[in-house]
Structure formats: C-alpha cells, structure tokens
Amino acid sequence: MKKKKIWMIGLLFMFVLLPQHAFAMHIMEGFLPPVWCISWGVICIPFVLVGFFSIKKTVKEHPRTKMLLAMVGAFAFVLSSLKIPSVSGSCSHPTGVGFGAILFGPTAMAIIGIIVLLFQAILLAHGGITTLGANTFSMAIVGPLVAFAIYKIVKKANAPSWLAVFLSASLGDIFTYVTTSIQLALAFPSETGGFVGALSKFVGIYAITQIPLAISEGILTVLIFNALSSYAKDELTDMKILSKEM
C-alpha cells in the first residue's frame, strides 16, 4: 500500500465534506439528567475496554493498518460534524461508523467513536462531556454493532459487496438515531403517552432528515470502500475483508 495514495483519499473526502459552520448535534451538554449521564457512561465502559484490546490486537497482527485506523477516525469525525436542520429546532447528521465497523469490527469503533466524540465536544462544542456516555452508546456502540451484523448477514447471503457496504452504513446510521430517540424518551417521557409517546415523537422528528442522510452515507461509504479496495487491497485481504481471488 502506498501511504501517499491513502492520505489522498482521506484528504479528498475531508475537504469535500468538512463543514464551514459546525454545529451538529449529538445529545447536547447538560441536556440529560445526571442519573442518565452516569448510567450510559457506566454501560459504555466494558465496550470501550474491549475496543481498546481489539485495536491493540489488530495493530499487532497487522501493523500496516495504522493508517487505515486514522482514516476511519477522520471519516467518522468529519461526517458526524455535519449539520442538517431537522424539525422542532433539532438537527441530524451522518455518523460514519459503518465504514469503521466493516474494517475493524464493532468493538474497535467503541474506542474510536469515544475519541471522536470527545474531540468534538472539546473542539467543536458538539454534544458534551456530561452526555459523552449516551452519545458513545448510540453512535459508537449500537451503530457499529448493527452495521457489522448487517454487513456479515448480507455477505453470507452472497450478495454483492457494494450492497453489503451500503446497507451496513445506512442501517448503522439509522439505528444510531433510533437509539438516541430511545435515550431521550427514557429521560423525558411524554405526559400523555409516557415512554412510547415520547419515542414516537423523537423518532418522527429525526426520520424526516435522517433517512435521506442514511442513504447518502451508504452511497459515500461504498465509494470510499471501493477506492480502498484498489489502493489497500493487500491490507484488506490480510484482514479478510476482501477475498484473495478479488
């Protein structure tokens, strides 16, 4: 693999997608009650620990993948920094987690995702420190788990690689926001419908903008994956992402 070509791919999508005014919303700072902030943070701990050892093992077995790890982090950082206005004063954004889940597995994305979210909270005021656990669970744990499972299921059905990548990235994005809606509904149940009423409200708010975003993210992920399949074929073959006959 030629490192220069990998950097060119990474820089290309970063310059194309980097927002001029970044105000993308995860669950914002101070929005959740303390009990939920602590609870989601505690739930994330085992996933983050497993992710750390997963990345450590991958780098040890495949040292040349360090550049790909950096690219996965940059991809998630840039995509999840975008802002698309939604309704009722909310907004939506892509996540970029499906790409990393396909390459390095869902547990690795837990550690990459929390780093991305931490930098966004500190540097861009996206999300927050108190809501870091909740945002990590939705975007860096549930999203990658769904994306990885979809990718494996579709590949096992002998479907084309592009379809597996597209569905993985798209559904990983959608389920991230379904999880966010569940988190908000748990913290702020509706006075009339309780949890179910609040959940339907939050899901409805996000669906209008998130479904088109998920489709767009799926298409973009296919393009980036296809580019990597050409420039980093040896690395992806060693990681068993691509078959040797391809």
What confidence tens digit (pLDDT) does each residue in 203-243 have? 887 777 788 889 999 999 999 999 888 887 777 887 778 76
- Answer whether residue 73 is part of any domain: yes
pLDDT reading at 1 higher than 90: no
pTM of the model: 0.85
pLDDT reading at 95 higher than 50: yes
C-beta separation of 201 from 190 below 8 A: yes
Which residue reads 């970063």 in tokens?
Answer: 14
What confidence tens digit (pLDDT) does each residue in 135-152 have? 999 999 999 999 999 999
Mean pLDDT score of the chain = 84
Identify the CA nearest to 26 among candidates 43, 40, 42, 47: 40
- Answer whether residue 241 is part of any domain: no
- Answer whether residue 21 is part of any domain: no
- Answer whether residue 17 is part of any domain: no
Q: What is the pLDDT of residue 86?
A: 54
- Answer whether residue 8 is part of any domain: no
C-beta separation of 94 from 125 below 8 A: no
Which CATH number characterizes residue 55's domain?
1.10.1760.20
Q: What is the pLDDT of residue 138?
A: 94
- Answer whether residue 240 is part of any domain: no
Q: How many domains does the chain have?
A: 1
Show contacts of 155-162: CB within 8 Å, 24+ apart.
161/225, 161/229, 162/222, 162/225, 162/226
Domain that holds residue 226: 37-82+91-233
- Answer whether residue 25 is part of any domain: no
- Answer whether residue 215 is part of any domain: yes
Helix or strand holding residue 235 (H, E): helix 233-238
